[in-house]
Amino acid sequence: MIDNIIKALIGLLVVVVLLGGGLISWMLITDRQTLGEGSEAVAAAPTLTTEPTQEIVVPDATIPGDSTTESGAAPAPVVELLPSSTPIPTSTPVPATNTPVPTETPPATATPLPPTATRIPPTAPPPPPATATPVPPSPTPQPQIGINGLIASSFFIQDRAVLAVNQEVWFEFTVTNQVGGEVPYNALGVMPKKDGVDRKEWYQQSYGGANSTIKPSGLSWEDRIKLPEAGNYTLRLVICFDGIDACLNGNGTFHTLSQEIPVTIN
């Protein structure tokens, strides 16, 4: 029995092999005809002007035993046009915006600060300079006083005089000669008087000497006297005829030629 089964299987295998060989031959013939007609169909197809696409040929399913159409030719393959891969969108450039350049802020001007140090006045102001006692701008007319034809037609204290101890007390005088000729004399100057007493030791010699004379035209001069003590004084113009030595050492006689002018020495 087993032998019969093996023989049956071998016979079945032979039939299958024979049937398989015939089926393969038929499929090869069918494929050749299909390829020939397909090339003509593809050649007759219009040229596509659209963007290139990927062609995928999907052959019709071949059913064994029905390999031809009614006309006897194999059906043409179906061409399916698939869209090409969508291009990757390019990034749209973002327009660069102009960043405004910051304007330069002008530097703040420095506000001047008031000085911190306050000037301190001196504790003791310096003493004011000694001022001259106002005197008349022009000499006051005086009574005519004189000797030997000589008188002081003008005698006064100048504005620049400083009425202070050991300061310059400036005076000015004019002696008029009424004789018409030369008048000899030995000393001519200013005699100070303090508290009613002549102070011959402070006498100021302005003009004179041995054989001195007053010319007919007279004599005009200015000079100064310094008084060493403060107090009330009078000043007058005097002249001496007793010799220069006697006049200067106080032994001569001084004759007054002008009025006395009061002054106060500070």
Domains of the chain, each with CATH number or no CATH: 146-265 (2.70.50.60)
- Percentage with pLDDT > 70 across the chain: 53
| Confidence (pLDDT) at 134 | 53
Q: Tokens for 37, please give them.
A: 């007609």
Please state the φ and ψ torsions of residue 157, each to the nearest 5 degrees: -90, 130
| Confidence (pLDDT) at 153 | 95
**Below-70 pLDDT ranges, the chain:** 1, 21-22, 24-26, 28-144
| Confidence (pLDDT) at 44 | 42
- Provide CB contacts within 8 A for 248, sequence distance 6+: 187, 205
Alpha-carbon distance of 98 to 109, in angstroms, equals 32
pLDDT digits (tens, 9 = 90+) for 237-265: 999 999 999 998 888 999 999 999 999 99
Alpha-carbon distance of 129 to 168, in angstroms, equals 13
Alpha-carbon distance of 180 to 215, in angstroms, equals 8
* Nearest C-alpha neighbor of 171 from the set 185, 156, 189: 156
Please state the φ and ψ torsions of residue 127, each to the nearest 5 degrees: -65, 140
* Nearest C-alpha neighbor of 164 from the set 234, 227, 233, 236: 227
Alpha-carbon distance of 108 to 53, in angstroms, equals 72
Whether this model's pTM surpasses 0.85: no
Q: What is the DSSP secondary-structure string of 203-247?
A: -EEEEEEEEEEE-TT-EEEEEEE--SS-EEEEEEEEEE-S-HHHH
Sign, CA torsion 47/51/56/61:
negative
Alpha-carbon distance of 221 to 190, in angstroms, equals 12
| Confidence (pLDDT) at 49 | 46
Max Cα–Cα distance, the chain, nearest Å: 215
Alpha-carbon distance of 128 to 117, in angstroms, equals 28
* Nearest C-alpha neighbor of 202 from the set 189, 187, 217, 185: 189
| Confidence (pLDDT) at 248 | 87
Please state the φ and ψ torsions of residue 56, each to the nearest 5 degrees: -120, 115
Please state the φ and ψ torsions of residue 137, each to the nearest 5 degrees: -60, -25
| Confidence (pLDDT) at 99 | 57
